Amino acid sequence: MKAVELFRRRIVYSERSFAELVLWRVPKPLAGSNHSFKYRLAYIVNGECVLRFDNEAGKGDHRHFGGKEGRYAFSTPEKLIADFQRDIARWNNENSHA
């Protein structure tokens, strides 16, 4: 079985910000992950990625918030999207001056 794209969406928030969400089902977990999903969720503001959740092979599940990277505890695709949306709201709140 090959990877199957389950979801691909671009959400425009304003003239200067948008999010891209991509989710695949993979035949076996990527190195560093223990589930059968590959994902990349990014929030772009003024052409810069300020928030990203992903699980590239070898690094496992993690998130980038501003300039910091940390582990992410993946449980379900629905929770992943909810956490991403929560972090978008947090970033916008903390950077309302930007």
pLDDT, tens digit, for every residue of 62-86? 999 978 999 999 999 999 999 999 9
Run of H or E including 17: strand 17-25
- Please, are residues 44 and 55 in contact by the beta-carbon 8 Å criterion? no
Reported pTM: 0.91
Closest among 79, 65, 67 to 35, alpha carbons compared: 79
Query: DSSP readout, 60-98?
Result: -SEEEETTEEEE-----HHHHHHHHHHHHHHHHHHTTT-
Q: Where are the domains of the chain?
A: 4-94
pLDDT tens for each residue of 24-75: 999 999 888 999 999 999 999 999 999 999 998 778 999 999 789 999 999 9
